[in-house]
Structure 1
Amino acid sequence: MFFVIAARRYPSYLVIMKKRMEFYFYQGMVALDVTGPLDVFNAADELLSRNGKEQEGYELIFSASEIGLVPTLSGLNFYADALPGMQEVDTLLVPGGMVAETASTDPANVLAIRRAARRAKRIVSVCSGAFLLAAAGILDGRKATTHWLVTDRLAELYPDIHLEPDAIYVQDGSVATSAGVTAGIDLALAMVEDDYGPALAIEVARLLLLYRKRPGNQSQFSAMLDLQAKASKRFKPLIDWLETHLDQKLTVDQLAEKAHMSPRTFARIFRSETGMSPGRFIEQLRIDRARELLESGAEGLELVARESGFGREERLRRAFQRRLGISPAQYRAHFKTGE
């Protein structure tokens, strides 16, 4: 398939106030890492134009180490009509893909990104595009995130990066990184808000039927699913039982009995297979349950606290602040219709 994405051009007599957004292309990138943020910026342009602000919004630039067609993982071909770093830009955006780590070892890509980054006010990666920023030295000493599937590999290759593996997106100064493909849309909405205010971000979210804003430190995925994938079959009956008993008082002795082990043996094997203590495990499952209740519109934080097993609203609030960085009330507000 052939899909042309071309930069917008404007008459020279206009004073361009649009923010220049440079997308860097490389072979094998994920198309949605480009088109997701692209549609957010395009929707912002459309809404600004309707309000008589045609000279605000975004000017899109598509670059690559060589001008021409760039094939994506899905078979779509994008067209890069610019070389990186040839003009000042507000944002450099690097998409991800299954080949991102390999692409990051190509000197042409690394040189191109370094050149473009020197002329960019803001540098952004989507998903595993963080590998390319890391290879260019842009993430050294910074907080960052990437897709959960490649977090360990990124940490292994670049130990100087302060990874936040659960985050949807992370902003550290002028550099921002995001998790899996749809997280690039969340980050693009955050950029629209930074650039033109929350009112426009809300309208863009409504137009595209998106959440107005997911907090950047919201977990990338359900802890329940992750723990079930990590735990061996021996703990599956226990996890299934816990799902229906989170509102009860739970102890290590009780869990060990359910698993037919001594408490000491259970605690040791459980930690080795899940990477966390039984107490932390239970708290994470309760946070997941509370999130589900809040997202579904449950009213009353005391009720949410009881049904998720925290018992009291104060314990629920402390757990959310500690693990998610926001309060339950703030979390619920993000998922209300129209927010």
Structure 2
Amino acid sequence: MTDTRPDEKPLLVTVLVFPGVRPLDVAGPIEVFASANEFGGRYRVRTASPGGIDVVTSAGTGLSVDLDAAHVPYISDVVIVPGGPEWPTLIKDDTLLRAVKALETHSRRTASVCTGAFLLAEAGLLNGRRATTHWRFTGELAQRYPQVSVEADALFVRDGSIMTSAGVSSGIDLSLALVEEHRGVDLARAVAKDMVVFMQRPGGQSQFSVRTRVPPVKQEVLRRVLDQAAADPSADHSLAGMARRAGMSTRHLSRLFRQELGTTPAHYIEQVRMEAAQAMLEGGDDPMASVARRSGFGPPESLRRAFMRNMGVTPGAYRARFRTTGVSAETVDRAGCSRSPTPDAHDMPLA
């Protein structure tokens, strides 16, 4: 079991909550830090709300609160700002925005989950920074706040003392990165394994299976072709081979792909094979030649070209991402500096 040094002081995490907050935005990060404590992480997590009142979440469930956000009696190592489905209304709540600013002023790092980025942006905390949010709202974030450099496909973005993350589950990715930053990669990896999640999900915000994210197809023969490709990516899935098994011309099969899937047979098969190769790289140490052959790419160079084309990284770099959350290499922010700790902050009382 991973453990921290016995003389290390607890890291203080404050999670902002408010009426209409999305429950998973809150629970995901809290669960990461709670799991880290099982492996010696030494986190102390408290919830805070404007006025210190208990809140009702967007799911209609009650959430008890520990502290008044305006009077948190310590310097937080991390402040988590979650989002909510009614974010257009939330960003007009002056009391909530004052709470965001108050917590950020007394924290070493402030991190948003999902549409919590809009609260940070409205409070002026993202001006001149890079940021992200849920893929459905990245365009809206960029349009409303032109002074923010929005990275639409990132799972999370770190810019100085501010971190922002994408959809609701990416709050877990962000929190794992914080655990690695604070307590090291071994502890973060232990937490990821305990929670059965990736250390770092590659490929941006699109994380769904190729076969499950295509629209339902009407033609039974096309369904069989797709199922065969998913079942054995290394088989002969050339246009001629698929057409022969389907009992139709190559021209007709191409037309079905365009009509029902909006893509070409070649592109679809490449995505299936990419997914197969990703799974092999994520879960083992097979030689690249074996990964290339079993995923249907053939020679390793074909695998490499496909990864560069689709992911922008080599297969080796992709595999390496599953050994770290990626945050450990980034020891300073873009300006080459980080926020200095406040002396004796940990000695301040907890409510």
Amino acid in structure 1 at the alignment position of 2:43: Y
Instruction: Go from structure 1 to structure 2 and tell me whether the alpha carbon gap of 1:225 and 1:172 turns closer, same or farther (over 3 Å shift).
Output: farther
Question: Contact 1:24/1:92 (CA < 8 Å) preserved in 2?
Answer: yes
| CA deviation after TM superposition for structure 1 residue 34, in Å | 1.5
Of 325-334 and 20-29, deviating more is: 325-334
> What is the Cα-based RMSD across aligned positions, in Å?
3.9
**Deviation of the 1:244 alpha carbon:** 4.4
Checking the alignment, whether the CA contact within 8 Å between 1:145 and 1:169 is kept in structure 2 is yes
- Aligned residue in 1 for 2:62: 76
Distance 1:99 1:119 in 2: 27
Match of 1:315 in 2: 302
1:209 matched to 2:201: no
Say which of 124, 132, 155 aligns to 1:168. Answer: 155
| Aligned partner letter, 2:253 | K
Residue 93 of structure 1 deviates from its aligned partner by 0.6
Aligned position for 2:46: 61
Q: Which residue is 1:288 aligned to?
A: 275
Residue by residue over 1:111-141, the C-alpha shift from the partner in whole angstroms, topping out at 9 and shown as x without a partner, is 2212322332211111222221222222334
- The superposition leaves residues 64-104 of structure 1 with CA deviations (integer Å, 9 ceiling, x where unpaired) of 22211111123132314222475432211111222233212
Number of aligned residue pairs? 303
In structure 2, the residue corresponding to 1:121 is in which secondary structure?
coil
The one of 3, 7, 13 equivalent to 1:21 is 13
**Partner of 1:44 in structure 2?**
36
Q: Take 2:28 and 2:66, find their aligned partners in 1: how far apart are those partners?
A: 17
Percent sequence identity is: 34
The residue aligned with 1:304 is 291
Q: Distance in 2 between matches of 1:225 and 1:165?
A: 24
Are 1:222 and 1:288, in contact at CA under 8 Å, matched by a contact in 2?
A: no
How much has 1:161 moved relative to structure 2? 3.5
Map 1:77-226 onto structure 2 (within 5 A).
77-84=63-70, 86=72, 87-206=74-193, 208-211=194-197, 213-215=199-201, 218-222=204-208, 224=210
SS in 1 for 2:64: strand
Superposition deviation, residue 255 in structure 1: 7.9
Q: Which structure is higher in RCO with an 8 Å CA cutoff and minimum separation 6?
A: 2
Gaps of 5+ in 2: 1-6, 241-248, 324-351
Q: 1:85·1:112 contact (CA, 8 Å) conserved in 2?
A: no
Q: TM-score scaled by structure 2?
A: 0.69
Consecutive unaligned residues in structure 1, runs of 5 or more: 1-14, 50-56
Write the deviation string for residues 127-159 of structure 1: whole angstroms up to 9, x where unpaired.
222221222222334333322333343344334
- How far off its partner does 1:235 sit? 10
Q: Distance in 2 between matches of 1:284 and 1:161?
A: 33
User: Structure 1 pair 24/325, CA: closer, same or farther in 2 (3 Å)?
Assistant: farther
What SS does structure 2 have at the residue aligned with 1:132?
helix
